[in-house]
Structure formats: structure tokens, C-alpha cells
Structure 1
Amino acid sequence: MTSPFPALPHPALHASHSGVWVARGGETRALSRGEAIRLAADTPVILLNAPLVAQRLGYAELSGLDLLELFAFLHPARFAVPTPRGIAQVTGLEAPARDEEVAAFLAAAAERLLAVTQAGDWPEREGAWTAAQSLTRARWPWAPIVAPRIAKPAQHERWLFSRLPEWQEAAPRPTPRPVTLDDAAVLDRLETLVGGGAELRTGQRAYAAAAAAAFAPRMTRDMPNLVLAEAGTGIGKTLGYLAPASLWAEQAGGAVWISTYTKALQRQLGHETRRLHPDRAVRKARVVTRKGRENYLCLLNLEDALQGGFAGRAAILAHLVARWAAYSDDGDMVGGDLPGWLVTLFRRNGSAALTDRRGECVYAGCPHYRRCFIERAARASAEADLVIANHALVMVNAARGRETATRPTRYVFDEGHHLFDAADAMFGTALTGQETIELRRWIVGPEGNARGRRRGLQARLSDLASYDEQGARAITEIVAAAGALAADGWLQRVAEGQPFGAIETLLAAVRGLAYARAEQDADAGYGLETELAEPTPELIEAAAPAAHALDSLVRPMVALGKRLEAVLADAPDWMDAPARARVEGAIASLGWRAETVAAWLALLARVGGPADPRHVDWLAVERGEGREYDIGLHRRWLDPTLPFAETVLKPAHGALVTSATLTAGGDWETAEARVGAPHLQRAPGRFTAPSPFDYARNAEVVIVTDVKRGDVPALANAYARLIEAAGGGALGLFTAIRRLRAVHARVADRLARAGLPLHAQHVDPIDTGTLVDIFRDDPHASLLGTDALRDGVDVPGQSLRLVVMEGVPWPKPTVLHAARRLAGGGSAYDDRIVRARLAQAFGRLIRRGDDAGLFVLLSAAMPSRLLDAFPPGVRVSRVPLDEAVSRVRQRLSTAGPIGHEADLDA
């Protein structure tokens, strides 16, 4: 299509680890970094991913005409891999083959993207003119170019709030019927899901039949039908449990909650359900994804941002998010259809303020309540057949959810080996400065020069206060008691030895004892912790006033909650449906905050008192990047699966816990202990289906014997040589962020000169999910990361053919770990953790039958007793680095399987 507008006069800039180039007027030339910085400072330049280019130039203030921002405006709720290759795919242009061709490509891509505004079939045209005018006022760099190209609509266009549908109230869903699934029907459903006349795998058939037992009618209260199923990679467990889950939902008329640990698996599950419901409208009604409310866009926060609450770059982000919200399926800002890279383009400036991260929701008091993404998801899940959630939300919902009438009776816990960790985080207690100041802000509202729309408890319940004298008195008492909590500036006052109030005095005593007893180097910049035992007189003296202050707070909170319940029962004249919903929300919020304060009181009772053998208590000073950021007391369950079993499993009728590595690191008894089965009266069912992959033929483990632990230059050299030998396609796993950054700094330029892009978690200003997308999209790229990549990466094919671990992933020696190690068998407990981590890391390598690759461990100290973490038959070789590099080059230079022609075992 010929554009009626002249070609863009702006230069295009590209910077990589191997150099910097600018394209202007059809010519491309190389620049020094200094020249590039001067150019970018003097004139708007077209670029791709401004924060990343700024990092490579060493010029933090870089801004310009970012193609990603333009794409987000033109195609809201669509995703593009934020690389030249990814932009080529969405524009239909040929991807540049070399770095020096990228700048000219960016200029051509800008023209191609802008041409969309002249297309008659632009699907996201509605709202674009209004958004462009708003972005012009916000001084978006693209606005002067984009706005003139969008014709003003003949009539007022619907935009954002008028586009969003309203949810409707529905009658309560009937209790699910007790049904017994027929084995043949389950297999028929599995065959339908697999589709295309494909042959059903024996392991998958057996897995689906075993999973169906979790959906049988429960015979005794508090005795759910629990099935533990370990299905090796390649069995097809997702479709294997979707078959009985979907069949039960249809026949019983109930909802099955499918819970994951990682967002990547949540997204994958959403894609797999297309096999179940190909029609998008049907799928949207029958399958709902649920996350914690802090993941969703808050429309009231967005409205405040659009009306002047945000300024500068944050205001531009708000307008682009508003453009996205009008087209979003679910309003999920974290892992949904909002491109993960959009927020990072603005250095996360303002994004947190667009979600409800602080529990400030006013529920029915919000003018956008009927269009609220969170409320819509909650109501949709009540009518859905399948609810795709995560472990944390399932536990929160079971412990204190408002939706008591629609609690699920059937669960599928995928990535079940992470249930212990999720329960550990959910049921823990932290009495810290950050936690107490958040509670203070929720109660008191803005103080001093604080900005924003946040309102205190008194303002949120003003109608109740004017109606009910007892409720008004309780609110006044709560606000007064909140004055003892940590306040703005608490961290500096505590560090200077000038705490204000009972809680800050307690935190000062905690800090003093942590510095006195912690084994870590106090000047190293890492967090400090020490067991809560034999407390100092200062800590004991500070605990009593702090406990009194918290007791003075929790009593009126409980009283107010009871008073609100009485008001609901009385139903005064002023209480219409929105007011009732607002009071119900206040009851729920007060309830779980009162539970939190009660848990703090129980923790304080430990100071100077007897230890609780069920819990582990310690003091900590949290530090990072050379500064303190939190101080407090912590409590975790020694066995967090106990509250998980009581809260989630016992009320359920059935649950399937499944994973590819459920018993990794141990045996079935260990697996059962890690998911809470011993706390149930009825023993769980067990099922195992080994992976169908030929690991012995397609994979190999190489242990490098001559890279010394702690020698960062040698470690970096090993990574560089191995990645060069493989030609990219490497996933590098680290146990410490500091070493990851050090290795990346040493090898990124070297690899870039070889045409091998290197990306890194905790280095590149890009979210983890997008980093994986970039890695998956380019078979020559490599990716460095930590735990999140060890457990949540699914990259089949040539893009991931080499996994390199820096060393044996021993658990960090914390107070909590020491207590669990003592209770769990000492060194055997450590070994189980390491085996599980190695199994998870190795599992990234072979994701489908035709995959082949090597797993390299840079640790001569790898104990032989841990080698059973790898699949049976996989050859393990101990060789020097030179030999390992040769092995990688030889094996990965061809796409075929790994043979056994030579025995290189040292």
C-alpha cells in the first residue's frame, strides 16, 4: 500500500554487544558509543527496546521512537517477540541477517507498521483516534507521527470503559452431582482431545485412567480421593488429566480447578483447552484463568492515572495500558495478553499503581465495579467447567476467599513438586517493617505529602460510621492503634537508633541482634539472619510493648468485623446492593488482616518464651544492592503441608497431584510427605508412567573436572567456550545472581562478535517470560538465568540443545533450611533437594522425541551418589573442559542423536 505521507526523516539506531549502527537516508554507518549518545540526545531516533539499547550504550536517559511502543499502540493485546526477527514476523519483512543491517530494517519496519493506520481492515482501529489525542497531550514521541495518520471517526467512538462488557449476577450454582466416570468414556474423551486419528500412547491412556480416580465420589468427610501421579516428560499428562477433568465437569455440573506453579504452564494450559473447546466464545465461558487480584488491571487506578495521577513517562504507559485494556480478554497484566515487555519499556514506572497490590479495593463503591476484570473473572469461574489457577491463589482462596459458596471440590495440582514451596510461602508469618507500614497505610490512608487516591478505613466506611455508633467507635480505635505501627521513614530512623513507637523499637532490637549474631559478613551487602533463641534483654523488653500495641489493634478490628456482620443482618434503609457488597468486602479484608495481626502476636509470644516445635522462628535484616530494605521477625511451619492439608485437601472431595519429577530426589514416601498426604486418614493412590523418550540415545551428561569453584574468570571462559562450540542454543543456570552477572559481563561481547546473542535474567531489562520467548525464537541465542528458568522453561527443538549448570545446586544454608535438615535426616535431606533440582534442570533439555542435547555440569565436586537424579541409561562422563568443548562441538554440530562411539569417562 502506498502511503500518502512522506517517508520518516528520523534516523534509526541499533546497538548490540558487537557495535553500534545508524541508518539515515538509505545509508548505514557504524558509530562509536559516544557518537550514538550525542545523536540520540539531539534528535529523535527510531530504535527497538529503548531500555536495552540504553544499557548497551551506557546512557540511562536514552529515549526515542521505540518500535515496541508503536506496536503496542497499533495492535493492543497482541504479542511480538521484541527482536528484529520478531518484528520481521509481524510486519512481513525479511529479517536482517547481520547486526549492521538492523538499523535500516528498523526504519523500514516503522514505515510498515505506520501503514496499518491506512488499512481498511485494521481490527484495532476503534479507540485509536481518541487514544492518539490523549497521547499527544502526554507528549508521546510517536504522537506527532501517528495522530495525523488516523482519521477522526464520523461519530463518537467507543473507548475503554464504554467498550468493556458488564458482568451479570447469576443464581448460585447447584452442588456438583456425585458421578462415577466410566473408563471407556474417559479414553474416548482423551482420543477426542488428541485428535486427528493420532494413536493414543499406552502411558497416556494409563495415566488418564489413573487420574480419573481423583474424581470418584468421596465416601467419608475429610477423606478426599487423593491420587499422586508421576508422568515423565512426553507422556502427555496435560491432555491426560484434561480428559477426566472435563468429563467430570460436564457430568457432575461442577468446576475443576487446575493449579500450576509457573505462569508458563498456565499459558500452556490455556492453549491446550482449545482442543476441548475450539470455538473461542464457548471456550471463554467454559474455561477461565484465575490469578491473584494483584495481577489484574484496576480500572479505578487506571482512571485516576489518566486524569492526571501520572506524569511524564508513567502517563504514556497509562494511556497505552488503557488502549490495551479495551481489547484485553481478561485484564491480566502479568502473563496475560499484555506484552510482558511493555511495562519494562517504562522501567516499571507506575505499573504497580495500576493494579490492586495494596488491598485498597472499594468493591461495589467503585464506579467501574460492574466492568471490573477481577470481579468478572471471579464470577466467570463460578460458572466455568475448568478454572486454571496457581498454587498460591488456590491456597488463599481456600483459607480466606470470599467465594465460600463456590469453593471447588476437585483439584488438579500440576507441577505438584512445588506444592511444598507454595504452602511454605502462603502459610508463613512475617512481622517486618514493610508489612506493618502497609497495614498502617490501609488503615490510616495517605499521610503527610502522600499522593494518590488511597483512602483510609474511616473514609471507606464513612456511611457505616454515620449510621452505627459502635462501628464508628471501633473504627476510631483502629485508626488510633495504627499509630504504633511503622511509619514513613522508619528504616532510616531504625538504622540511626532513633525509632518511633513500639513497633519501630522492636525492629531496632531485631536489627541489633541480627548484626550481633549473624554468621554472614556484615559488610558484604547480603541479608543477615539469626535464629530466634536466647533473645537479648533489649529484644525481650521491646516485645511486650509491641505485643500490647498489636493487641490494641486487633481487638477493635475483630469487633468491627462482628459489627459489620450485624449491620448486614439488620439491612438498614441506606444499604442497597452496592453498599452491601462494599460491607461484605470490608468484612473479608478485616478478617484476613486481623488473622495476620493475630499471627504476629503469636510470633511475639515466642520472644523470651518456649519454642513451638511445629514452627521455625528467626530474625532477619533483608539487604540487596548494598542497602537494607526490610527488618523483622519471621515464622514458617516446619512442615507447611500440614496447614495445606487442613485448609485445601481435607475439605476437597478429590485431588490429583502430578508432575514429571514428583519422586525426584527420593521415593514415594518422600513425595507423599512433600504434598501433605501423611496428614490425611486415607492413603493416596500412586501411579507412575516413565518417559517414552530414549534419553540414553539422545542425551548425555558431562561433568567438567577442571573449573575451580569460585573462579569467576574460569567459569566465564567455560561458558563462552561451550556456547561457542554449540553455536548457541544454550541455557546457562546459576545458583547466585552475582555470579550470573559477572559471567555475562565477561562473555557477552565475545559471543556477540561470533554472532551468538546472549540474554540474561537479572541483567537485561526484560521480563523473564519475554526472555524465554526471545530465546525460543532464535536458535543461535543463549540465555542465562536462575531458579525460575530451571523450573519453568519449555523450549523444544534446536533452540535449546545445551544446558550448562555452574555447579551442584546445594540448598542455601539458612536458619529455616537448617531446622528442616535436622528434622529431615541431615545430609540425606540435602541430597533429596539436589536430586530434585538436577532432575528439573535436566528436564529442560529433552522436551520431545526428536530432541537431542548435552547437559554440562561445571563442578568436579559432583558426588557420584547424586547421579541417579538423571534418567536411567544416560551416560555420565567426567572430563576436562577441553574435552567437554570437543564433545559439545562434535555432538551438536549435527542434528542427529547422541551416540556411544567413544567412552570418555575419566
Structure 2
Amino acid sequence: MAVPAPVAPAPRLTDSDAEIPDVATLLAAAVQAIGGAERPGQVTMAEAVEHAIESGEHLAAQAGTGTGKSLAYLIPAIRHAVAADTTVVVSTATIALQQQLVDRDLPRLAEALEPLLGKTLNFAILKGRRNYLCLHRVQTGAPEDPEEGLFDPQALSGLGRQIKRLHDWADETRTGDRDELVPGVGEQAWRQVAVTAKECLGAQRCPHGTTCFAEMARAEAGDAHIVVTNHALLAIDALEEFHVLPEHDVVVIDEAHELVDKVTSVDTDDLSGAAVETAARRCGRLIEEGLADRLQEAAESLKLLLNEQPAGRMDMLSAPLGETLAVLRDAAHACVSALGPEPKDGDPGDLAARRAARSSVEDVHDTAVRLLGAFEAELAKRWDVVWLEQHFEGKRPPTLHVAPIGVGGLLRASLFETRTAILTSATLTLGGSFEPLARQWGLPPLGSSATGAVAEASTVQPEPEPERTPASEPAADGGSAGGGEGTGADAAQKPGKERAKELRWSGIDVGSPFDHPRAGILYVAKHLPQPGRDGLPEVCLNEIAELIGAAGGRTLGLFSSMRAARQAAEELKERLDHPLLCQGEDSTSLLVKRFAEDERTCLFGTLSLWQGVDVPGPSLQLVIVDRVPFPRPDDPLSSARQRAVAAHGGNGFMAVAATHAALLLAQGAGRLLRSMDDRGVVAILDPRLVTARYGGFLKSSLPPFWTTTDPEVVRAALRRIDAD
């Protein structure tokens, strides 16, 4: 079979490339400088990353905890960036990993490698514009947008204190980066001092353009060899027709198991009556009163309709709602037209108000257009799913959401066909294969099994997918569509690129330094009843209590819902001899800190704990999972995706629900072993892991622990570990 041309352009090497040591030499120097030891898996992964960069062939690299995967991709990325005088983007899903890379890994590598590279390594962190404090908004104030709930004097007082903190911080901060403010503030307070890209005046027109935090971050990133960013900004860069990230031909996606969810979140739009009222109020100060009144009337109609609609996925668009959305769309379009072009020499304060109004009303218009368009195709051929979320506590208004059923086409067209991607995580193989996640990313099937070694590169061309009109293009009815991240920052338009006809990728699992069968036990409570919908039964609570008693505390309880976590915490606190914390009692970070510091403490919680806890040592020796974490049957997005797979002849349950559960189970089980000395038990209280037909797929997604279904065996093992 003929080998197709690489997806990405060949590296642009300089004359100094021959003088730069190879990846193996640089890696050895880096490991020695930071006082580490060379690890076979790390070396293997570094070689695979180097091959991907040189060949243009995408790489999926699974590397277990303790492998040292950050160095394994940073070293070849640094060598390529310096040799080719280019930028490599490293994208992560979490703030913690961004901070590790920028505050620890890259500074140490820059110092260690400078003698070998012959130049100083430049690196920077870049986030979306809304993550940076806006000096102009701090000075002039935000548009007045009172929302439901703010009329509570106590809420107003708390918001005022947070805003005062932000104004004080504005005089001290050197970066304006929201993540550097500790403790943080709520979203409502942050909106008073930050702007979206569409609200931004642009560096040339803003009085603070030369000192703008976001602009300084962009400028620093433009000169960097390595730019660290997040999956959200990577998604925005793919969605928009404008450069957000510096020009680059290689991207490393760490924590790649979260890529689909992050891209989906960025490509999800929301519409509520309150949002339309905000747009009408902002426009009302700048345009003819009658036009803003039309939009306000549409907002009131939408609020009435949504209050009467049941929550959940919407497969059909009712006539009243369709008519209201059409009226709303047209009223928003009229307001955009009335706002007209921006004056060239306007007052910055007036210009900011006009930008805020235009941003709000364009968002309303574009979302209404997308919602109406979502119902045009027959059910099996739709690309978006719509659902209504009701907030019965009254804290938020009823809200319509519209999200993509899949993001593979977007990722394939905007990422994999234009640059080389290295995707890595401790959890990429599900059911023993890279295929489940690769399908979601939009990559074609591999020609052979990808687990355990570099697999044969695939040259299969996936089926073409129609694409939605990009948000930066005019809407079909002539209305002005929203700009993207970077439009307010004088961003350069992306040059057109001819798409590659074929994609090539390979997968590699470099293993783990842990001896899983010796260090850990997988216990499946086969004797327990299958989980139901009525909460945790008494027999399950007894099982949890007995396991914790045998372990002497030291337990992380991972539950499929907050209701189950709270029920277990409330009913077991009086029965246990050890402290028990439950998510929601304090900030998650403080709870994890208390859990890690007191060896006998237990911590119960839900989703964020499945993936966000890193507690090595004796404080965590038992991980309890209450049930296989399938998505809820009524989850709008998951159910729509299952239906779409089934409509094309696939197994929707396995492709969506089982894959989701396998990924979370693998992540949850990965909390147990975080250092070479760790030992313990992962206890899954759901017998379906060994009794259901899909149980083999789920179990093969977990680390290869020694497995038992005997409760006496596992309790004895926990007592021995506790005694040691």
C-alpha cells in the first residue's frame, strides 16, 4: 500500500538543527538535571512523539501515572520548536496541569537545556480573553444587568465585596489572570471586570490597549517556543475563522480523554428569557425605542413558553415555540441593523456600551437561528440536539440549550487535517483499544490493534460530514453573526488551507511503572443487588461500612450522583469511627487537602473527584465506586448521540453509554496508585461488572489489578495493608 503524504507540513528546519542534540540526549540531560531516573516508558513515548512530529502522523499515546509523560512530549516538542524556529502548542484540560507545566516543568527544562540548545527556551501560557481582567471595564464599570436573585440584600452585599476585591487586585496583579486570584470569585462578580472577545474594543481603540493583560499574554505567546493553553481555547481556535493561538504546525493534547467534552461545551449555545431581556435593555439605550421593545416583548413570550415546557430533550419544535423563536430572531436582527457600523472616532465608553449591546443581541440572534435550524433535518440526520433545562430552585431561569451531537467532523477538519496532533493521557484505551475515543475525535479506524505497541497507520478515509456555517460568517437571513475569540483583539484572519484527503495515525501504550497485580486489588461485590433508582439500599451501606472499617478509614468514595454521596455520608457518619467528609461541605480543593493530611479520614463525592484527586501515600488505600457510571437515560446529549449511532447501524449503547462509563471507571480506579509505594483496593459495588455482557469491555478498560469477588478476602487484605 502506498504511503500517503504527511498531514502536516514538513518541519521547517534551520541551519542550527544539526547542532542541536537528538531527543535521547536532551531527555537524558533533562532527567539528570531534575534528579529523576530514566524510565523505559518515557523513552519509548519520547521516541514515538519525535516520529509523529517528523512524519506528520498523528499519535495517541497512553502513559500511566508515574511514566513521566510530560517530559516525554515536552522534550521532542522543544527540540522541534527550537530547531524549526516555530511554536508548539500544548493543551490541557485542567488548571492544575497548566500550572505544573508553566510553574515547574518548563522553567526547569529551560535552565537544564539552554547549554545544549544554544539558546533560551521561551514559553508562555495563553487563555481565552474572558480569563483576563479588563482594565477598561474596571475603570468604566460593566453594563447594568440586574438578574433574578440579586435583589436579595445579602446576595448584593456578597457580590459587592467580591467586586471590591477585584478592584483592589487590579492594582496589584501583573498578569490579570483569573486563576491567580486566590480565593476566587463567582462568575457574576468576574463578569463585572472581564469582557468577551466581541465586547473588547481592540488594542488600537482601547485607552488601555498598551497595558492590556490579554494583549500582553498574546504578545508573549507569539514569541514563545512552547505555548500552554486549555482545551477550550483550542476548541475556539478550531471553531472560528480567526487566529486565536499563534501559528503552529504541532499540537500536544494532554488529558486528551476530556477533549470531546470540552469541545462540546465550547460549541454549546444557550438561550433564556433573561438573556434576551439583557440584550433588549442594552440596545434600548442606543437605538429606537420601538425596536428594543419588540425584542423585550419576544423575551416575555419566550419566558412564558419555557416556564410551561417540560424539561428534557426536544425532538419536535412546537408551533408556539417556533413562532416565538422566529419573532425573536427577526427582532434581534432589526436591533443589530439599527446599531449600525461603529463610529471610527467614538468615545471609548460609548463604544464599549455599543460593543456590549451588539455582542448580546448577536448572541441572541445566532442562537435563535441555530435552534430553528436544529429541527430542519429529519431526526436521524440532525447535527444538533436541543433540550430545556428547568431550574426549580429559582436560581436560574429556564434555559434552552443546543449542542453538537458529535464533534469529530469539526476536529477532523480544523485540527487533524491542518496540523500534527499528539494526544496523550493515562486513559486512552477503552475495552483494550484506542478506537472508542478515536471515533469520537473524528479519526478513522486503525488497521490493527493499537494496544501495547505502535499500531499500523490507518489510511481509511472517514465518511464526509456536512458542517454548520461557522459562527463568524453571515447568517442565512442576512443577520450579523457573532465574532469569535480574537475579533476584539485585532486578530488576523486564518489563511485558507487545502484539506488533506487521508489521515494517518497510530497508537501506543507505553504502560505504567506500577505492578498493578501486586500493588492493587479489584474487588467486585458480586453478591450485592443490581443498583436501582431508589438510592443506596441498606445492604450496600453495610458493605461500605465494613470495607471502611477494614481499611481503617483512608477511603475515597466515588458516587454516580451527589444524592447518593450525601445519602451515604449522612447515614454512615454515626456508624464509622473515622472522620467522613462529603463534597459540598467546603470547597473541593480544601476537602481534598484535609483528606490527604489526615490518614484516617474518608472523602465522599461525585464527578470532579473521579478525575481530580491526586493523593499518594497512606491517606488513600481504598477507592469505593457505588455503581457503573453510565450516563442518565434521560441525559439529552448522551441519548441523542446513542440514537444517532443506532441510526447509522451502530451499537449506540456500547459506542456512547458504555464508553462513557468505561472512561470514568478507568479514571476513578486510577486514583488508587499515585506513587510506587502505594497499595490498596478498588471496590466496585455493582455486580454488573462481572455479570453483564458488557462487563468484559468495562473490566478491560481498568488497570490490570488482581481481581476477586470474595468479600472476606478483600477485607483481610485491607486489614493487612492498614496494619502495615
Q: Deviations over 1:281-303 (max 9, x none)?
A: 99999222222333333445555
Aligned pair in 2 of structure 1 residues 439, 803: CA closer, same or farther (>3 Å)? farther
Superposed, 1:481-500 pairs within 5 Å as 481-485=291-295
Question: 1:260 maps to what in 2?
Answer: 92
Aligned pair in 2 of structure 1 residues 422, 504: CA closer, same or farther (>3 Å)? same
CA contact (8 A) 2:312 2:388 kept: yes
Question: 2:232 maps to what in 1?
Answer: 392
Superposed, 1:31-42 pairs within 5 Å as none
**How far is 1:277 from its partner?**
2.6
Question: Residues of 2 paired with 1:827 and 1:409: CA distance?
Answer: 36
TM-score normalised to structure 2 length:
0.75
Question: 1:659 maps to what in 2?
Answer: 425
CA contact (8 A) 1:358 1:442 kept: no
CA contact (8 A) 1:810 1:834 kept: yes
Question: Residues of 2 paired with 1:609 and 1:701: CA distance?
Answer: 47
Aligned pair in 2 of structure 1 residues 797, 379: CA closer, same or farther (>3 Å)? same
Question: Residues of 2 paired with 1:885 and 1:434: CA distance?
Answer: 54
Question: 1:759 maps to what in 2?
Answer: 581
Superposed, 1:92-491 pairs within 5 Å as 178-179=12-13, 185-196=22-33, 198-216=36-54, 225-270=57-102, 271-278=104-111, 286-300=122-136, 302=138, 317=162, 321=166, 328=173, 330-334=175-179, 336=180, 338-340=181-183, 343=185, 350=189, 353-356=192-195, 360-364=199-203, 368-400=208-240, 403=243, 406-440=246-280, 443-444=283-284, 458=286, 476=287, 481-485=291-295
CA contact (8 A) 1:258 1:388 kept: yes
CA contact (8 A) 1:359 1:442 kept: no
Question: Residues of 1 paired with 2:332 and 2:243: CA distance?
Answer: 29
**How far is 1:403 from its partner?**
4.6
Question: 2:523 maps to what in 1?
Answer: 702
Question: Residues of 2 paired with 1:748 and 1:640: CA distance?
Answer: 43
**How far is 1:201 from its partner?**
1.9
Question: 2:675 maps to what in 1?
Answer: 848
Question: Residues of 1 paired with 2:589 and 2:139: CA distance?
Answer: 28
**How far is 1:399 from its partner?**
2.9
CA contact (8 A) 2:528 2:686 kept: yes
CA contact (8 A) 1:510 1:619 kept: no
Question: Residues of 1 paired with 2:687 and 2:658: CA distance?
Answer: 17
* Counterpart check, 1:876 vs 2:707: yes
- Aligned with 1:804: secondary structure? strand
Question: Residues of 2 paired with 1:319 and 1:724: CA distance?
Answer: 48
**How far is 1:442 from its partner?**
5.5
Letter in 1 for 2:509: T
Aligned pair in 2 of structure 1 residues 370, 727: CA closer, same or farther (>3 Å)? farther
- Aligned with 1:210: secondary structure? helix
Question: Residues of 2 paired with 1:774 and 1:405: CA distance?
Answer: 38
Question: Residues of 1 paired with 2:232 and 2:261: CA distance?
Answer: 10
**How far is 1:888 from its partner?**
2.3
CA contact (8 A) 1:417 1:675 kept: no
* Counterpart check, 1:746 vs 2:579: no
Question: Residues of 1 paired with 2:363 and 2:651: CA distance?
Answer: 33
Question: 1:15 maps to what in 2?
Answer: none
Aligned pair in 2 of structure 1 residues 317, 610: CA closer, same or farther (>3 Å)? closer
**How far is 1:701 from its partner?**
1.0
Question: 1:62 maps to what in 2?
Answer: none
Question: Residues of 2 paired with 1:305 and 1:597: CA distance?
Answer: 26
Question: Residues of 2 paired with 1:348 and 1:777: CA distance?
Answer: 30
Gaps of 5+ in 1: 1-174, 218-223, 445-455, 459-475, 487-500, 516-527, 895-906
CA contact (8 A) 1:432 1:632 kept: yes
Aligned pair in 2 of structure 1 residues 588, 400: CA closer, same or farther (>3 Å)? farther
- Aligned with 1:192: secondary structure? helix
CA contact (8 A) 2:391 2:398 kept: no
Question: Residues of 2 paired with 1:313 and 1:588: CA distance?
Answer: 25
- Aligned with 2:565: secondary structure? helix
**How far is 1:825 from its partner?**
1.0
**How far is 1:674 from its partner?**
1.9
Letter in 1 for 2:681: L
**Identity across matched positions, percent:** 28
| Higher RCO (CA 8 Å, separation ≥ 6 residues) | 2
Larger Rg: 1
**How far is 1:622 from its partner?**
2.4
Question: 1:603 maps to what in 2?
Answer: 371
Letter in 1 for 2:257: H
Question: Residues of 2 paired with 1:349 and 1:506: CA distance?
Answer: 23
* Match of residue 653, structure 2, among 821, 824, 827: 827
Superposed, 1:482-521 pairs within 5 Å as 482-485=292-295, 501-512=297-308, 514-515=309-310
Question: 2:486 maps to what in 1?
Answer: none
Question: Residues of 2 paired with 1:352 and 1:583: CA distance?
Answer: 18
**How far is 1:213 from its partner?**
3.3
**How far is 1:870 from its partner?**
4.9
Letter in 1 for 2:515: D
Letter in 2 for 1:207: M
CA contact (8 A) 1:430 1:600 kept: no
Question: Residues of 1 paired with 2:361 and 2:65: CA distance?
Answer: 42
Superposed, 1:725-740 pairs within 5 Å as 725-740=550-565
Question: Residues of 2 paired with 1:648 and 1:437: CA distance?
Answer: 37
Aligned pair in 2 of structure 1 residues 730, 832: CA closer, same or farther (>3 Å)? same
Question: 1:46 maps to what in 2?
Answer: none
**How far is 1:707 from its partner?**
5.0
CA contact (8 A) 2:558 2:605 kept: yes
**How far is 1:312 from its partner?**
5.3
- Aligned with 2:435: secondary structure? helix
CA contact (8 A) 1:664 1:835 kept: yes
Question: Residues of 2 paired with 1:869 and 1:418: CA distance?
Answer: 20
Aligned pair in 2 of structure 1 residues 538, 810: CA closer, same or farther (>3 Å)? same
Question: Residues of 2 paired with 1:339 and 1:750: CA distance?
Answer: 36
Question: Residues of 2 paired with 1:777 and 1:269: CA distance?
Answer: 25
Letter in 1 for 2:298: A
Q: Deviations over 1:477-532 (max 9, x none)?
A: 7x86454446xxxxxxxxxxxxxx224424533543x43xxxxxxxxxxxx21332
Question: Residues of 2 paired with 1:545 and 1:589: CA distance?
Answer: 19
**How far is 1:809 from its partner?**
0.7
Letter in 1 for 2:521: E
Q: Deviations over 1:664-703 (max 9, x none)?
A: 2462332321222236622223322122311000001112
Question: Residues of 2 paired with 1:853 and 1:397: CA distance?
Answer: 42
* Match of residue 621, structure 1, among 364, 369, 389: 389
- Aligned with 1:735: secondary structure? coil
**How far is 1:388 from its partner?**
1.4
TM-score normalised to structure 1 length:
0.61
The count of corresponding residues between Structure 1 and Structure 2 is: 626
Question: Residues of 1 paired with 2:611 and 2:559: CA distance?
Answer: 12
Question: 2:315 maps to what in 1?
Answer: 532
**What's the Cα RMSD here?**
4.1
* Counterpart check, 1:777 vs 2:597: yes
**Greater Cα shift, 839-848 or 664-673:** 664-673
Question: Residues of 1 paired with 2:78 and 2:305: CA distance?
Answer: 55
